[in-house]
Structures are given as structure tokens and as C-alpha cells.
Structure 1
Amino acid sequence: MESTQPTLKPLHAILRLSLAFACLKVLIQVLGNILAQHAGYGIFRDELYYLVCGRHLAFGYVDQPPLVALQARISETLFGHEHLWSLRLLSALAGGAKVFLTGILAWALGGDRRAAALAMLGVLVTGVYLGIDGILSMNSLDPVFWMLCALALIRIVQSQSSAQVRNWWIVFGVSAGLAFQNKDSVAFYLIAMLVAILFTPTRRILASRWFAVSVLLIVAIAMPNFLWQVAHHFPTLEWLHNVQVSGKNVDLPPLAFIKAQLIMLNPLTALLWISGVAWLLFGRQAGQFRFLGVFYLVFLPFMILLHAKDYYLAPAYPVFFAAGAVAWLSWAAARANSRLRLGAIAAYAVLLITGFFVFVPFSIPVLPPQQFLAYERVVHFAPGDTENHAASPLPQFYADMFGWQQMADEIARVYNSLPAADKARAGIFCNNYGEAGAVDILGAKHHLPQAISGHQNFYFWGPRGYTGDVLLVVQRSRSDLDQEFASVTDMAHVENPYAMPYEHVHIYLCRGLRKPLATVWPAVKNWH
């Protein structure tokens, strides 16, 4: 039986509705960050690193493409880093774009204003999106690029003229190319999407010469980062290998991985997005969009086999929220008792809104730490972490927002206590980019010198001319310092009860490195 193709509704009303939902999303993220800072949470570990990278703009970094560093540079230039809401405003705006595009995707799949509203509400209350849009990172932009790719493919399938095909293939190429400059995981998205298209009648769209043009656009936009990788001997591949063999990340078995998808998206939204996957796979009106359902059947096991972190799939889900909303409203409209069914959908929307208030403390740190821990006990739920580490009171995502200013202040106290002759030649060596970022970003008000470290891209920035004659070393224990230096003095201990355990560190004053720092620098490389 031939599928019945949906008729598109007028776009202008959905545009206004989508813009309203997008503004609401930005407002939620901004207010969330204001409340988080008031509750005592500070800058996130990775944000410190991105800000430092933003001060060293390049076409690539050991562990990321360049776009997040540019985002950090723009944020710091415009707003500084003192206020979390403004530091993270670009991510909040990306979240708004995600919600806006969800409404447009619902329209493109044949939905009306009610379908668009339900889809956007689902994305608005989804836990993982509230989390990733609440900090400065590449993860907030990733869904925007993936959604533009999905929208472009939908519109290519629907196109009635060669000009439309051309324009949407160009949108696809630019979006995918920018996605490569944001996060390399888009490669897996594109591979899974290509496989899905090839296994459905939609493969006819690949015969267009504009598909080839789109591929060329992707290559051209992604090329600067690729050339940086070549020039630096593909450090990202080395880093990925090190992460894989180190056991750093939690490796979930298939059923646990699927369960993690339900939890990260907010369990209450499962009815919506799972309906979307089912509708794309089996719905009569979804015939021309079947490739999107097949894509999920390819992408999910693909990421499980690659031992990906559970949230790596997050950018793919908004299109399924949109499809689910279209399916639900179609179900309601096709029956005589449509009012009753619309009432059920309205009740579900109320449930989603109620669930938002229940689950939001697990995505946005609006509760002070002690209140959050008490709330965990009340609701009998504690979010899992994606990395293996010693037990910490708070989830890692929250714990990594504590202790950095305290650490920078204590390092500054020790540094400024040194004799003038020692200060002039003393370097500050840190074992990871969070600590080094705290020195560079939060220690600037104390006039600390730039930190040196072998972690991630700090390794490429080198020893900055320090010889190792006088070094302040920030690490958990003396370890091998007594063998490497002529003298080692424990100057201070930094410990925040809510920070990660490995950030309970000592500050050692080390003198007389037995070999020149430039000579031993290759041995400090720490890519994991």
C-alpha cells in the first residue's frame, strides 16, 4: 500500500510559536545559571580549559575542534567570566535554537501548531538538554548542526524544484561542515544517516549533483582542522586511543546503555520520542521519512559497539520528539472521539511540565549542595556519572564546579609568599587542565604567571621558558618529586568537600629539577 504523504501547514504561525518557545528556553537557562551561582556553584572544569583555548585560538586542539574555543573567546570578550549566566549565554542561545528547530521539524514532518508545541515542550523539559545548554561547551551547539542536517534531508525529499534541492543540499553541507569544526562525533552521525538512506528508497536523492557539492562543502569547511591534525601528527587519534585503553569512561552494556537513554532524556518523555521512532518506521504518513527511523536503528547499536558515552546520542533525538508529536496529533485527529484524545495529550503535556520541576535539580544545579543531597534521598534517585572515579558527594557534573577559585587563591598565596628572586623564575606546574585553567583564568587577578602542564593542549604550549629551577607543583602527593628535584617543600593543602576527590591537592615548592625542563618535557605529555 502506498504511503499517504503529509500536507504541510502554513509556516508563519509555527514560526511565531517556535520563537516564543525558544525565548522561554533561553530564559530557563539564564535563570538556572543565576540560581546556580547564588547556590554556590562556580565555573565548570571544562569551561576553564575552553577559556584558555580561546586565548590561544587555533584550527584545532588535542581533544576538540576549534569552534568551542572561538565560542569561549567571544563569550569572554563580550561578557567576561565572572557571571555564569553571561559566560554561558551562547550555549543558552544554542538551546533556544534547538527548541526553535524542533518546531520547524514538526512542521516539516506535516505537523500543525499543536504538534509543534508538544514537540518543543518535550525538548524543553528534557534533562540532558537542560544540562548541556547550561554550560559553555561544544555539546550545546552539536544538536543545532545535526538538526539542520535532518531538516535539510527532509526538505530535499519534499522538494518540488531543482532550486530547492540545491539550496537544501547547501544547507546540509554547511551544517555538517560546521559540525565537524565543533565535534568529531558528527562523523558517526553522518555514517549512520548514509547507511539509512542507502537502505531506503530515499537513496534516490544521492543521485543529485548537489549531493556531490554538499560533500565538497563538508570537506572544505572541515579541512582547516584536518590540516592542523596532519601538522601535529593526529593528536586527537592518540588521545582517543588513550581514553579507550585507560578505562576512564564508564562502559555500559547494551541494556544499561538503552536505560541510560531513557534516564538522560527524562523518563516521562519516552512516550513521545519512542512514538516518533515507531511512526517514522511504520506510519503510513511517514513513508518519505522512513530513513530517519532506520537511522536510529543503525545509530543506536553503532554507538553501543563503539562504547560511546550515553549522551553522545543526545543531538539526534529532537527529530524523534517532532515525529512523535506529529504521530500523536494525527492519532487524535483521525478518530471520532478526538476531543477525548486531545484531552489525553493535554494531560500528558501537564505531566511533562510537572516532571520538569521534579527533575530539573538533576540537570541544573539550582539547589545548594546539602539541599541537593537531601533531595536525592527524598526522590530516591542519584544520577550516574559517565567516567570511572573515586566516590564523590555530588555527581561529577556538579562536583566539577567546586574548588577552582579556592585553589587559585591558595596557589597565589604561596606564589606571592616567595622571595622576589624566586617569583621572577618560578613556574606553576599543574597535572590537569582544570587546575591549569584555574591558574590562568581565576588566578589572573592575583597576577599569577600562566600555568604549564602536560595535559591535553597545554602540552603543545610547552614549558613557556621555565627551566625547572623553581616550580610550584600542584598535585595530590609528593609521588616522584623527591627523585626529580633537589628539594621539595609542602607549602599548602587545598580541599573542598564538594570537589572531586582528585582535586584535593597539595602545593609543593620544588627546587633544582635534576634535568632541564625542556629536556624532560616530552615525558610530561598527558593525553587522556
Structure 2
Amino acid sequence: MLAAIALTVTLTRYEFFGDELYFLAAGRRLAFGGADQGPLVPMIAHLTQLIAPGSLLALRIPVVVLSVAGIVLSAAIAREFGGGRLPQTLAATAYATSPFMVNQSAMLSTFAFDATFLAVITWLLVRWVRTRQDWLLFVSGVVAAIDIQVKWLIPVAWVCLGIGVAVSGPRAMLRRRALWCGSAVLAAAAIPGLVWQSAHGWPQLAMGAVVGAEQDATGGGRIGCVVQMVGLAGLLGALLLAFGIWGAFRVHSVAPYRFLVLALLLYAWLIALSDGRPYYLGGMFPVAFAAGAVSLSHVGVERWMRITGIPVVAISVTTVVAALTALPLPGSWLRTPIDTASQLVQRVSLHGTEGWSQLTETVDDAYRTLTPIEQLDTVIITQNYWQASALEQFGKQYRLPAIYSPNRGFGYFDTPPDWASTVLYVGVDNAAAALRADFASVEPVARLDERLGIPGINRKLTVWKCVRPTYPWSQTWTRMMAPELEQGV
């Protein structure tokens, strides 16, 4: 309850994130698939705005529910392991004070849903081991089927769990019809997304390389990914994570669930090997924290709490409270401009995103430079999907023309019409050379460059007037499509 209140009170501390704006745009154009995510999160984003249009609070309420669910699941899994009140409290506290939970509760995201659904699956499997009620296996498949509507990560985690069971048992799980029926539900739920991917050239495959490149640029590669995974667990969480791995091989009450630890290690290895996001592992944190808390109870948790535990818990709680109250840091603290991808990630994490109104006003100013005749056949094209999503969300009052972007999922929404002979192109300062290959005339009509702004939003941004496309849009659009989030850093 305290966590729910704290998270709700601080829910609007950040402005809209770029991906949140994209989910709103995707929610207005629901489809069975997307370039890098399924339809569930955009659908929920759309529903929240039907209930409370423009409300940032309504948009983020689902992540509070998911974050609290992660805390409860951590305690519930510890209880299934045979842990009493203290181990349950310790596991729940570890999740509640983890940097992962702070990030999960900060904005509407796919990983907030994916992590909680995976945690539910692990709880169902743990409960099956204790009770042997086969319906739990089928329900786990149903939850996985829902999760695949969020992101295409759950099949990987599902296979890792299966390998863990095959290696360490209980192998009787693999002989249960309910498990295979649940797996069939998961496979069937993947079909609409696979059909969409096939019809659109399998953009999800290209996104793997893009995510890897972004991770290398901001996280220090595979070693950095592993370090970040541990960092996302937090001080208390990292300690319980280590004890959980140890306890799976040394503690009698945790040993029957060793397959979960093996699955966690395999999943973490695959994430790092593929240059994935470190937060992909977050769905395994509840079971890891629970295993660690119960393992501690077998080595004298009361004594540990008196000597080490209380300071560790106090530091963890203080850190998360400070993060929730202090972040985002005020803009007056900014001193240096953003010139690298890692600086951009740090800036967004500590200060959030801003500059959407400046972006919208700049584009509107550029649009007003056109003659009434030119405005009739004008569309707006943005270099990245954040810009397009922001202009669509905040540009309603300006009566801007139709907005398109060839970037990531936005590029699959629609193609500009062939009657569009004038384009206002919103992009980074060096975009002119590429544009001249597609238009007869290209000239800058507006520029936005706040020294301490965010590249691509209110820094290093130019609006170009592009006249007379060289080729039909059906050809040009395919060539312009790009999965990378270009922001000029």
C-alpha cells in the first residue's frame, strides 16, 4: 500500500517520454503487430486516453499496478519456497527498492508489462512444483500468450525455463499435457504477429541489430550489460540474487526450484550475448529475490539482519525514496550540452525529456511561412518517430497537416499520398544531402538549437521545405524507411 501511494504521488514527475507519445499514436492505429512491439501497450495507452484525454496520470496508472504486482509476487514466491514473514518481507523490499522498479514505475513501457507477466509465469511454475495442480501450467501458457502481445521476448524466456526443467527437473513437468496445451496457446497467439511481420518484411529482425548498436553505444557492450543487470537489482537485490543462486544448490527448500535459477542464468547470458537491454531480465528478479531471501533464512537471517541487513535495507530504502522525490533533476542544474549517445541516456534518466512544445511551435512557424496554395498539398515528415508522435499529440491546436515518419513503427502506419508535392521535413541539421536526392528543391525554413536541449527535440534541429518529390511516394518511402532512432548525437 505504501509503495502504491508513493508511486502514484510521484507519477507525473516526468514529462511525456518519446515512447509514450509513440504508444498513443500507435493506439490510434491499432494493428496485430508493430516494428518492435505488439498491440497490447498501444491499446492500453489508447484506452487510458479515452477515459481521461491528455492525462499523464491516467496513462501511467497501469505501471503503478504492475510495479506493485511485482512487489507482491516477490513475497508470494518466497512464501511458496517455504519462507516465513521475514523472508517474504525481505524479497518484497528488494523488489520495491530496486532501480528496476523505479524505472518500471516511471513511464508506460513494454518492459513494465513484460517483466510482470514473466514474474507471474515463474510464480505459477513455482506453485505447480509445490502443488502439482496442472491447471497452473496451462494458465502459465495463457499468460505467456498475453505477454507475446507486448514484446517478442517471452518465447526466449519460455525456452530458457524449459531447458532449466530438462536439465535439473522436475522433468515430470515436461510430460504434463497442460504444459503443452499452454504452449499451444502461446504459439497460436503468436500467429497474428507473425503474419503482420511477414507482410511487412520482418522489421523485428532488423530491430535486433539496432538494439545491439544502441546498447554498445550507451552501455559498454556485453560486459556493461551484465554490470547493468546487477545494478538494476539494487544493493539489497544484488545480495539476494547472489544468495538465490547459492541457495539453489545448497538449500534444501530451494533446490526443487533450481530450474528457475538455471533459466535466469541462461536468459541473462542470451540477453548479454545478443546485446539486448539489461532490463529484459527484470521479470526474473522476483523469483531470484525470493530464493535469496529464503536461502538467507537458512544461514541465520536474524543474525545477518542485525549485523548487515539493517544497514543494507536502510540504504536501499533511502536510495529509492531519494530517487522518487529528487528525480527528475531541475533543468537549472544542466551545464554541458549533449554530444554522445551515453550523455543522452543519462540526461533523459536524470532530467526526463522536454522541449516538445518548442518542437511543435517551431514546426508551426515553418508551416506558416508557406503560402495558402502551398499548404493545400503539404505534409509533414519527421526523421524519427519521437518527433512525429509529439507533433501528432501536441500539434492538434495548431491545425498542422498530416504527419508521417519513416522511422521504426511509425513508418508502417501510412505512406504520404502522391498529391503531396510539398514536404516540411523535420530532422537533424545534416539531413539536407540525403533530401536533395529525393526532392527537386530543398531549403531550410526554421531551426531550433537550444544549447542545453535534447538533440532531435529542441537541439540541432532544422525544418526543411522540400518541393516536388523526384519519385512516387510508394518508391521513396521504402527507401527512406529506417529503424534507427536518429537524434544527431
**TM-score scaled by length of structure 1:** 0.83
What SS class does the counterpart of residue 415 from structure 2 fall into? coil
TM-aligned CA deviation for residue 429 of structure 1: 0.9
Partner of residue 64, structure 1: 37
In the alignment, the residues of structure 2 paired with residue 341 and residue 458 of structure 1 have an alpha-carbon distance, to the nearest angstrom, of 52
In the alignment, the residues of structure 2 paired with residue 511 and residue 438 of structure 1 have an alpha-carbon distance, to the nearest angstrom, of 24
Aligned alpha-carbon RMSD (Å): 2.7
Gaps of 5+ in 2: 485-489
Partner of residue 516, structure 1: 472
Per-residue CA deviation, residues 49-93 of structure 1 (Å, 9 max, x unaligned), is 111100000110111111111121112212223x43322111121
2:392 paired with 1:440: yes
Counterpart pick for 2:441 among 487, 495, 500 = 487
Partner of residue 305, structure 1: 273
2:287 paired with 1:319: yes
Contact persistence 1:148–1:171 (CA under 8 A): no
2:143 paired with 1:175: yes
1:46 to 1:498, Cα distance in 2 relative to 1, 3 A: farther
Partner of residue 92, structure 2: 120
In the alignment, the residues of structure 2 paired with residue 285 and residue 211 of structure 1 have an alpha-carbon distance, to the nearest angstrom, of 24
Partner of residue 54, structure 1: 27
Contact persistence 1:157–1:288 (CA under 8 A): yes
2:327 paired with 1:365: yes
Letter aligned with residue 406 of structure 1: Q
Counterpart pick for 1:500 among 443, 454, 462 = 454
2:235 paired with 1:267: yes
1:390 to 1:276, Cα distance in 2 relative to 1, 3 A: closer
1:407 to 1:466, Cα distance in 2 relative to 1, 3 A: farther
Letter aligned with residue 16 of structure 2: I
TM-aligned CA deviation for residue 246 of structure 1: 8.3
2:489 paired with 1:526: no
2:343 paired with 1:343: no
2:428 paired with 1:476: yes
Per-residue CA deviation, residues 244-294 of structure 1 (Å, 9 max, x unaligned), is 578875464554333222222223432222212221232122121111222
Per-residue CA deviation, residues 265-324 of structure 1 (Å, 9 max, x unaligned), is 223432222212221232122121111222233222222222222222122112111122
In the alignment, the residues of structure 1 paired with residue 357 and residue 72 of structure 2 have an alpha-carbon distance, to the nearest angstrom, of 36
TM-aligned CA deviation for residue 355 of structure 1: 2.8
In the alignment, the residues of structure 1 paired with residue 394 and residue 111 of structure 2 have an alpha-carbon distance, to the nearest angstrom, of 24
Partner of residue 141, structure 1: 113
1:349 to 1:482, Cα distance in 2 relative to 1, 3 A: closer
2:6 paired with 1:33: no
Map 1:35-434 onto structure 2 (within 5 A): 36=13, 41-81=14-54, 83-160=55-132, 164-165=133-134, 167-241=135-209, 243-244=211-212, 249-250=217-218, 252-332=220-300, 338=302, 340-344=303-307, 345-360=309-324, 365-371=327-333, 389=341, 391-392=343-344, 394-397=346-349, 401-434=353-386
Instruction: Single out whichever of 88-97 and 238-247 deviates more from structure 2.
Output: 238-247
TM-aligned CA deviation for residue 409 of structure 1: 1.9
Per-residue CA deviation, residues 442-469 of structure 1 (Å, 9 max, x unaligned), is 1112122231111122222333425342
What SS class does the counterpart of residue 428 from structure 1 fall into? strand
Partner of residue 453, structure 1: 405
Gaps of 5+ in 1: 1-22, 378-384
1:31 to 1:282, Cα distance in 2 relative to 1, 3 A: same
Instruction: Single out whichever of 228-237 and 117-126 deviates more from structure 2.
Output: 228-237
Contact persistence 2:218–2:341 (CA under 8 A): no
Letter aligned with residue 353 of structure 1: V
Letter aligned with residue 86 of structure 1: A
Instruction: Single out whichever of 410-419 and 390-399 deviates more from structure 2.
Output: 390-399
TM-aligned CA deviation for residue 113 of structure 1: 2.2
Contact persistence 1:399–1:499 (CA under 8 A): no
In the alignment, the residues of structure 2 paired with residue 131 and residue 245 of structure 1 have an alpha-carbon distance, to the nearest angstrom, of 22
What SS class does the counterpart of residue 320 from structure 1 fall into? helix
Letter aligned with residue 138 of structure 1: T
1:348 to 1:496, Cα distance in 2 relative to 1, 3 A: same
In the alignment, the residues of structure 1 paired with residue 480 and residue 67 of structure 2 have an alpha-carbon distance, to the nearest angstrom, of 38
In the alignment, the residues of structure 1 paired with residue 467 and residue 267 of structure 2 have an alpha-carbon distance, to the nearest angstrom, of 53
TM-aligned CA deviation for residue 147 of structure 1: 0.9
Contact persistence 1:250–1:309 (CA under 8 A): no
1:485 to 1:304, Cα distance in 2 relative to 1, 3 A: closer
In the alignment, the residues of structure 1 paired with residue 196 and residue 440 of structure 2 have an alpha-carbon distance, to the nearest angstrom, of 39
Letter aligned with residue 91 of structure 2: A
Letter aligned with residue 518 of structure 1: S
What SS class does the counterpart of residue 509 from structure 1 fall into? strand
Contact persistence 1:392–1:399 (CA under 8 A): no
1:461 to 1:269, Cα distance in 2 relative to 1, 3 A: closer
Per-residue CA deviation, residues 98-130 of structure 1 (Å, 9 max, x unaligned), is 112112111111112222221111111111221
TM-aligned CA deviation for residue 358 of structure 1: 4.6
Aligned identity (percent) is: 23
In the alignment, the residues of structure 1 paired with residue 2 and residue 344 of structure 2 have an alpha-carbon distance, to the nearest angstrom, of 34
1:111 to 1:280, Cα distance in 2 relative to 1, 3 A: same
In the alignment, the residues of structure 2 paired with residue 434 and residue 198 of structure 1 have an alpha-carbon distance, to the nearest angstrom, of 43
What SS class does the counterpart of residue 107 from structure 2 fall into? coil
TM-aligned CA deviation for residue 432 of structure 1: 0.7
TM-aligned CA deviation for residue 433 of structure 1: 0.2
Letter aligned with residue 26 of structure 1: A
TM-aligned CA deviation for residue 400 of structure 1: 6.1
Contact persistence 1:127–1:360 (CA under 8 A): no
